[in-house]
């Protein structure tokens, strides 16, 4: 059977239209989570984060974050021994906004323990924001809970 060039162009065009419709349908069903619902307001307040990051960089010690089978342990710099630390730890998951968690920092023993039972096995961006001695500090890093 021999198909004329007109039918071949029509079949090719029809296949292309079907492919585009399938791609549009698949992309419209894709779940998209924004990092923050108030990202404009957060962007305006970002200078405070930059200043707090600079304060963190000026410390002699650094925050150490490590995970074991049951917990995530955040060790604060030794400069804050016996100093009351207040703030929060935000664990942000790019995979799913329902996995994001917030934990309050209210410690004077330089350590915060977060149970892994409250977290999902994914890659989290850990954002530590705290105050000590009237200064604000900010530290951010990633942790992979798939392998820890």
Cα distances (Å, whole numbers) of residue 67 to 28, 71, 80, 116, 128: 37, 6, 22, 9, 15
CA dist 85 and 132 (Å) reads 5
DSSP 99: G
Helix (H) or strand (E) holding 102: strand 101-107
* H-assigned helices in the chain: 5-28, 39-44, 46-57
Reduced to 3 states (helix: H, G, I; strand: E, B; else coil), residue 127 is strand
Specify whether 24 is located in the same domain as 58. Answer: no
Instruction: Report if residue 83 sits inside a domain.
Output: yes
CB atoms within 10 A of CB 79: 12
Higher pLDDT: 18 or 70? It is 18
Give the length of the chain: 148
22 domain residue, yes or no = yes
Q: For residues 135 and 13, what is the distance between their CA atoms, to the nearest angstrom?
A: 64
**What's the pLDDT tens digit per position in 8-55?**
999 999 999 999 999 999 998 887 766 667 777 877 888 888 999 999
Please determine, for residue 147, whether its predicted confidence score (pLDDT) is greater than 70. Answer: no
Q: State which residues form the domain around 138.
A: 39-144
Residues in a beta bridge with 104:
88
56 shares a domain with 12: no
CATH number for the domain spanning 128: value is: 2.60.40.10
């Amino acid at each position: 059977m021999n198909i004329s060039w007109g039918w071949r162009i029509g079949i090719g065009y029809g296949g292309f239209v079907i492919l585009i419709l399938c791609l549009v349908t698949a992309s419209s069903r894709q779940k998209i989570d924004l990092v923050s619902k108030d990202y404009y307001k957060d962007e305006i307040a970002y200078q405070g984060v930059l200043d707090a990051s600079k304060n963190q960089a000026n410390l002699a010690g650094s925050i150490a974050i490590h995970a074991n089978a049951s917990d995530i342990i955040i060790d604060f710099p030794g400069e804050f021994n016996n100093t009351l630390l207040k703030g929060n730890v935000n664990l942000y998951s790019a995979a799913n906004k329902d996995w994001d968690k917030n934990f309050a920092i209210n410690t004077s023993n330089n350590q915060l323990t977060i149970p892994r039972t409250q977290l999902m096995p994914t890659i989290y961006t850990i954002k530590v924001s705290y105050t000590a001695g009237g200064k604000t500090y900010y530290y951010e890093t990633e942790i992979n809970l798939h392998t820890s």
